[in-house]
Amino acid sequence: MSTPGNVLEISGLEVRNLRPAGGHDGGTGAGAAGTLGAGQAPLVRDLTLSVGAGEFVALVGGSGSGKTLTALSCLRLLPPQLGITGGSIRLGSTDVTAAAESDLNAVRGGQVGMLFQQPKRMFNPNRTIGQHLLEPLRIHGRLRGAKARDTAVEMLHEVGFADPARGFGAYPHQLSGGMAQRAMTAVALAGRPKLLLADEPTSALDKMLERQVLQLLDRERRERGLGVLYITHNIAAVAPFADRVLVMDSGTIVEGGPTASILAAPQQDYTRELLAASQLAPDSRRRPPPAERDILTLAGVHKTFGPRRRRHTVLEDVSLDLKGGGILGILGQSGSGKSTLARAVVGLEKVTRGTISRHLEEAGNAPERATAVQLVFQEPHSSFDPRMTLRASMEAPLLRLRGLAPAARASRIADAMAEVELDECMLDRRPGQCSGGQLQRATIARALLLDPRVLICDEATSALDALTQRTVLNLLLRLQRDHRLSLIVISHDMDVVRYMCDRVAVLLDGRVIEVAETQAFFASPAHEHSRALVDAAIPCRGDHLRSLMRGPVSLHS
Amino acid sequence: MLPFIAKRTATLVAAVVVSSFAVFLIPYFTPGDPVRKIIRSRVSGDVVDDAAVQSLSLSLGLQDPLALQYLRWLGRIITGDMGLSHVSRTPVADQVLPALAVTLSLVILSLGLAAVVSLPLGIAAGLREGKATDRVITTVTQSFIAMPEYWVAPLLVLVFALKLSVLPSAGWAGPASMILPAVTLALRPISYFTSAVRSGMIDAAAAEHVPAARARGLSQAQAVLRHVVPNGLVPLSTLFAVWFAGLLGGSVIVEVIFAVPGMGRLLFDSVINSDIPLAQGGVVVVVALAVTVTTLADLGHRLLSPAVEGSYA
């Protein structure tokens, strides 16, 4: 039945929630899987796929489509309330669904390696990278002592650690997100697996790091025939690397085929939506040019942290201006000072030197002007108090800063919820009961409550999947138009900035190295670092993708 | 790590200095003239000669500035000279040090007992959260919180000393006499430790890096042993230090009931007898020891959990 050369064969897989509906589901810890699974419908149904040796297969779908459950099924490591209720999974000669638990331990990490979405949280914070790496070497390679150590250091070197001996002794919190994912790759490959399951390993990384990780995987499969099942919500990111694309929706594969033909001639509406979402065509919108007058001016802003001897400069001589009604994009890699800049503009952070002036004469009285610059946070789940309902979270600023009566508060909140197209019944939920997209809308609604003139979006959509990201971006654009807001859009994502902004500023190590009109910037970035950023993005998305798709596609409303 | 140790040591010294100054000031806030008290403790009769008061004040240096007096006092304490007890008229150090030795053995014994009992109980309860094992362990150990020492101690004496006659009811001579006081003192730490270990285990087991370890090929048991249990025990180090520091002076009820000649009882008696030098010496020693233990626990916590390092890593 099994085809020689295939490292993974799944046929007719079905995954269900084993707990009866309405029963005890172990609290909210199970997350989306738990809440979705409360019904009787299977979470994964009739799923069939295969990955050959040396083949790169992309499994693409929105959040909640069952991608991750499929990967976990391959290792038989589903959360305890879920179970495989049908079908079979073969890894080479091993039948995963029927194998004994002890045999599976040899398969996990030995035949199959796995990469996870949040690499830093997948390491034990109290153990060094080296200690993690020694585990699979001992279990699968039977290596111990100095030999194991040498192999581990060599593997860290292979995945791109400049100083592998130091990386060996480093603790997870000392690594950047990109280095952590490389370290995780070394750990996943340590047992010399034939198949790598990669579950959104780069979704939290910026485009440059994403590309580096993808190139690393690509090298592994070419050099030693590693089969890769790459799970992502972003079809464009993997397009240059994937041999085949499988599109997954509501627990099953709705479309699949060679990458070029899926991109060129998608059959399903869902596939088209995914493609459109990952593309964010920049020329699809028209809006009035911004006013000539500045609403916000930053002049020579410096920000340093830490005590004198270990002073750490985060912002250095930053001068920028935001025109009334304009949208300014701030691009930069992680650690370039983007978030500090956002916090300084809102007033959450005092600048060490320089001035940030607001020109808000028309924004009303002094307390109203004080709150006229609002921030939309990056992580919606951590920007709400988990124990308060959304209503309580939203009422607090109205009560404290405006002293409104209960009825006035309620109507103001209702208006804001309507603005962001959220149902009012959401107000009685707590953050844990909302999806990321819903919460990010609520974050925007909360920012709107105080009648802001300027909205700062700090990676406001980076944590969302491509489809949700697109709707939230469009919501922001509509609000900007309707309320004549001025926006600062902070992102590491080229496409978001290109889609949203009139002007772009690039931040590198706390300095502004380039400010330009969006179109001119993407046509010919002036600074070397800007070019590197733009180059890292283009082949993955946008232009290259459209060339693959042979001509423009207009799918968005 | 080195700057951290330096910083913590500085904090430790500062804490000892500040608290010792407060202790130094005790005589100024207690009723009665300490000088007269000293004379009264040395001569018989109730009448104290004013001239004697004056000459003793002079010879004690009480006309000097407060800061100078404090430094002189601190210098003597550091060199081990804590003065004479008003009551026994023997050096304070000769009473404090044996009492400290007794209390230290009692505290180490009971906290050791508490650790030996609560580690397996807490681990078992945490790993079987919500199951019968967990419920039984949690209910039993939590009930210890509601058992005050002055109730447990007589009960244990009644059963083991009076009814069964297997253990002595009081005193501090030989291992057998240590059992009842140690058990009494261990009960409340047992319930707090068990609960801390249990919730530590639950948190550690829910961490996302545990399934990641399974995906590397570790068996469930290996993953628990290497990545759940050690992580779950980290919070215990701090709790342990807090209890250690607290029991040094807080074992007074047990010491009084079982006639254990320890620090708690010494401090209790010194206060009852207004024996100020004894109280001062005892408190300074207990404070210094308590602060040291907490500092060591902080260092230990940092070694066990390197990510606590803070923002200037």
pLDDT grade, residue A23 (50/70/90)? very low
**When comparing pLDDT for A212 and A503, which is higher?**
A503
On whether any CB of chain A is under 8 Å from the CB of B214, the answer is yes
- A80 and A137 housed in the same domain: yes
Verify that A458 and A446 share a domain, yes or no: no
- A108 closest CB neighbour out of B209, B216, B304: B216
Question: Are A110 and A137 contained in the same domain?
Answer: yes
Report pLDDT for A246.
Answer: 93
Q: How many CB atoms lie within 10 A of CB A505?
A: 27
The two three-digit tokens of residue B31, written as one number: 């009723």
Most confident residue range from A59-73, A120-134, A295-309? A120-134
Token pair 């197209």 in the structure block, residue: A421
Q: Nearest Cβ partner of B304 from A110, A126, A132?
A: A126
What are the chain B neighbours of A171 within 8 Å (beta carbons)? 306-307
- Pair A18, A122 in one domain: yes
What is the reported pLDDT for A35?
A: 44
Contact residues, chain A to chain B, C-beta under 8 Å:
29, 72, 75, 77, 101-102, 105-110, 113-114, 116, 118, 121-127, 132, 135-136, 139-140, 171-174, 187-188, 190-191, 305-307, 310
pLDDT tens by residue, A95-115: 888 888 888 888 999 899 999
Identify the weakest region by mean pLDDT among A367-371, A515-519, A526-530, B162-166: A367-371
ipTM score = 0.74
CA dihedral A105, A107, A110, A115 (to 10 degrees): -90
Q: A342 and A254 in one domain?
A: no
The reply to whether A536 falls in a domain is no
- Residue A195 sits in a domain whose CATH number is 3.40.50.300
Report in angstroms the alpha-carbon separations of A25 from A35, A36, A69, A118, B49. 8, 11, 17, 25, 83
Shared domain for A427 and A484, answered yes or no, is no
Average of per-residue pLDDT across A431-454:
85
Q: What is the pLDDT of residue A193?
A: 92
Asked if B312 and A306 come within 8 Å (Cβ–Cβ), the reply is yes
Cβ A29–B305 below 8 Å, yes or no?
Answer: no
Q: What is the pLDDT of residue A288?
A: 62
* A487 strand-pairing partners: A327, A455
Longest dimension (CA), chain A: 76
The tokens 């699949």 sit on which residue? A256
The pLDDT, as a whole number, for residue A550 is 38
Predicted confidence (pLDDT) at residue A462 exceeds the cutoff of 80:
no
CA distance A268 to B154: 80
The whole domain housing A66 covers 4-35+43-277
**What is the per-residue pLDDT for A546?**
44
Domain boundary among A217, A242, A277: A277
For A378-401, how does the pLDDT look when each residue is reduced to its tens digit (9 = 90+)? 777 778 888 889 999 988 888 877
- Residue A247 sits in the same domain as residue A215: yes
Whether B312 and A310 lie within 8 Å, measured CB to CB: yes
Q: Please calculate the CA angle A368-A374-A380 and round it to the nearest 5 degrees.
A: 140
Q: Contact at 8 Å (CB) between A141 and A160?
A: no
- The C-alpha R_g of chain A, in whole angstroms, comes to 25
Check residue A276 and give its pLDDT: 75
B309 in A contact zone (CB under 8 Å): yes
Residue pair A96/A7 in contact (Cβ under 8 Å)? The answer is no
* Predicted confidence pLDDT, tens digits, chain B (313 residues): 778 888 888 988 998 889 889 988 887 887 777 787 777 777 766 677 788 888 888 888 888 888 888 998 888 888 888 888 878 888 988 999 999 999 999 999 999 999 999 999 999 999 998 899 999 999 999 999 999 989 999 999 999 989 998 888 888 888 888 999 999 999 999 999 999 999 999 988 888 899 899 999 999 899 999 999 988 888 888 899 899 988 887 888 899 899 999 998 898 888 888 888 898 899 998 888 989 988 888 888 888 887 765 433 2
DSSP β-ladder status, A44-52 and A6-17:
antiparallel
Asked if B113 and B186 count as a contact pair (C-beta separation under 8 A), the reply is yes
Least confident of A149-153, A157-161, A362-366, A475-479: A362-366
Query: Chain B, 247-306: which have a CB under 8 Å from a chain A CB?
Result: 304-306
Are residues A419 and A495 both part of a single domain? no
How many angstroms separate the CA atoms of B245 and B239, rounded? 10
Q: How confident is the model at residue A363 (pLDDT cuts 50, 70, 90)?
A: low
Closest to A359 (Cα-Cα) out of A347, A348, A350, A372: A372
The three-class DSSP label of residue A370 is helix
Kindly state whether residues A171 and A201 are assigned to the same domain. yes
- Residues A77, A154 within the same domain: yes
DSSP reduced 3-state for A327: strand
Rounded-to-integer distance, Cα A345 and Cα A98, Å:
58
Q: What percent of chain A has pLDDT over 70?
A: 89
**Residues of B with CB below 8 A from A102's CB?**
219
Domain end among A242, A277, A312: A277
Q: Which two tokens stand for residue A167?
A: 């990386």
Residue B280, helix vs strand vs coil: helix
Length of chain B: 313
Query: What would the 3-class secondary structure string for A527-545 be?
Result: CHHHHHHHHHHCCCCHHHH
Cβ-contact B120, B72 below 8 angstroms: no
Cα gap A539→A426, rounded to integer Å: 40
Domain count, chain A: 3
Mean pLDDT of A284-292: 61
Tokens of B220: 């469930």
Q: Rounded to whole angstroms, how far apart are CA atoms B202 and A326?
A: 50
Write down which residue in A277, A298, A314 finishes a domain.
A277
According to DSSP, the residues that pair with A508 across neighbouring strands are: A511
- Scan residues 165-194 of B and list those with Cβ closer than 8 Å to A: none
pLDDT band at A287 (very low <50, low <70, confident <90, very high): low
Q: Which residues contact A557 (CB under 8 A, 6 or more apart)?
A: none
Q: Is the pLDDT of residue A465 over 80?
A: no
